[in-house]
Amino acid sequence: MKVIGYTDVIQVAVLLLGGLVTAYLSLTLLSEQFGYGSDVFKGLSLLREKADTHLHMIFDKDHAYYKDLPGLSVLIGGMWINNLSYWGCNQYIVQRALGADLKTARSGLLFAAFLKLLIPVIAVLPGIAMYVLHEQGLFQQEMMNEVGIIKPDHAYPTLMNLLPIGLKGVAFAALTAAVVASLAGKANSISTIFSLDIYKKFINKNASERKLVLTGRWALIISMVLAALVAPALKTLDQAYQFIQEYVGFISPGVLAIFLLGIFWKRTTSAAAMAGALLTIPVSTILKFLPALTNGAFPDYPFLDRMSITFLLIVVVMIVMSLTKKETTHEVEVSKDMFRVTPAFAIYSIIILGILTALYTVFW
């Protein structure tokens, strides 16, 4: 984890620089296209003028992309479940914090939160600029795939090609290294979870250390082969990221429900947690495909709303099961001192929340 941490720092610095330069180039190119010269601020104003509908995060039901961002669910619904599950319950993410002491982990989380606030500048603004430029007749061929279909996923790679010689190579190298580091982190998670939480716990309780290592390696190899077989199919998708978010959302509600109830409610039983883990995929699958099977008789909810429904249903089931059947619990004593934060941490957290509130207010 220490090696992954050091490489992540270098990659983030390079990717951040490349992303900011790409955003700058896209806005200045937009300004030049409309005859205003290399004026980044004029580029921003042109975005508001030419693509105002792309600068809102809360959509009405008649909006073309309401199913991707279903209104207030972005603020009080499934978006919370999606993010809390990923950032708080995903072993691939959490292992980076667990590898440090408490003070360092908290500082890292705050720093990551500030970096996350730059994503709209690094990724969203160039994407919207690319949309306006494409509407003006630029990058027509670059945005198409082999059969002539416009692929939104081509927007950012096309813009990165505009980077100056040298910086472009460094940015692509950093991007490749980030992918490799991400795979390394995921590989560690896959082998650890399967060998310790599945194989040793349910299949071979007396497995030796060597056997666990070999089992983890085989689990990793099989997982990577399956991923390699599935990956080419993603080329047919309009937006691969949206697809991944939706189907990860089949698992997220159950995982978050188990963690939240397990941490904050002492009466939660292991049977209830197992029920939550087993229910999350079937319930999500039913909500996803039942509208088509019933010819529209059952409502076709946006995927964020399906996550909210699944989460609430699992929480209810877990609470009922925990209340009706008591079992001997093994409580973990956690000192209250671990939850006390420094004034600086509290201040920076408030600043982050304030910036988020301002962003959602301005781009409502």
Average pLDDT over residues 42-60: 86
Are residues 287 and 223 located together in one domain of the fold?
no
Question: Is residue 222 very low, low, confident or very high in pLDDT (cuts 50, 70, 90)?
Answer: very high
Using CA atoms, how far residue 63 sits from 50, 107, 288, 359, in Å, is 17, 39, 20, 21
Q: Quick one: pLDDT at residue 63?
A: 81
Mean pLDDT of 97-109: 83
Give yes or no: residues 78 and 179 share one domain: yes
Q: What is the DSSP letter of 339?
A: G
What's the CA gap between 82 and 207, in Å, rounded? 35
pLDDT of residue 300: 87
Per DSSP, helices labelled H in the chain are: 2-33, 40-50, 73-76, 78-89, 91-98, 102-116, 119, 125-135, 155-160, 167-192, 209-230, 240-248, 252-264, 270-293, 303-324, 343-362
Residue 329 has pLDDT above 80, yes or no: no
Residues 289 and 353 in one domain: no
Q: Is 90 exceeded by the pLDDT of residue 52? A: no
List, in order, residues 6 or more apart from 342 with CB less than 8 Å away: none
Instruction: Write the pLDDT tens digit of every residue in 240-292.
Output: 777 888 888 899 999 999 999 988 888 888 899 999 999 999 999 999 999 98
Instruction: Clarify whether residues 300 and 231 are in a common domain.
Output: no
pLDDT of residue 328: 61
Query: Residue 4 pLDDT > 70, yes or no?
Result: no
**Domains: count for the chain:** 2
Q: What is the CA radius of gyration of the chain?
A: 23
**Distance between CA atoms of residues 159 and 22, nearest Å:** 7
Q: Are residues 311 and 343 in the same domain?
A: no
What is the pLDDT averaged over residues 172-195? 80
0.85 cut: is pTM over it?
Answer: no
Q: pLDDT tens, 117-137?
A: 888 888 888 889 988 988 888
Please check whether residues 306 and 192 belong to one and the same domain: no
Is residue 43 within 8 Å of residue 32, measured between CB atoms? no
Does one domain contain both 86 and 165? yes
Closest among 358, 359, 348, 351 to 110, alpha carbons compared: 348
Structure tokens at 174: 């950093």
Tell me, yes or no, whether 169 and 285 share the same domain. Answer: no
Asked if 200 and 327 sit in the same domain, the reply is no
Q: What CA–CA distance (Å, rounded) separates 33 from 43?
A: 10
Collapsing DSSP to helix, strand or coil, 166 comes out as: coil
- The stretch 205-229 carries a mean pLDDT of 91
Residue that wins the pLDDT comparison between 106 and 166: 106
Predicted confidence at residue 250, as pLDDT, reads 92
| Beta carbons of 122 and 20 less than 8 angstroms apart | yes
- Tokens 């795979």, located at residue: 183
Confidence bin at 332 (pLDDT 50/70/90): low
Residue 253's domain spans which residues? 249-332
Under the banding of pLDDT at 50, 70 and 90, the label for residue 165 is confident
User: Cα(347)–Cα(32) distance, rounded to whole angstroms?
Assistant: 41
Same domain for 162 and 83? yes
| Residue showing tokens 């319950």 | 89
- What is the reported pLDDT for 156? 81
Helical pair 2-33 and 91-98, crossing angle rounded to 10 deg:
120
Question: 253 and 211 in one domain?
Answer: no
Please, are residues 183 and 171 in contact by the beta-carbon 8 Å criterion?
no
Please list the residues that pair with 150 across neighbouring strands: 144
C-alpha to C-alpha distance for 55 and 125, rounded to whole angstroms: 9
CATH number of the domain to which 357 belongs:
1.20.1730.10
Same domain, 12 and 72: yes
| Amino acid code (one letter) for 314 | I
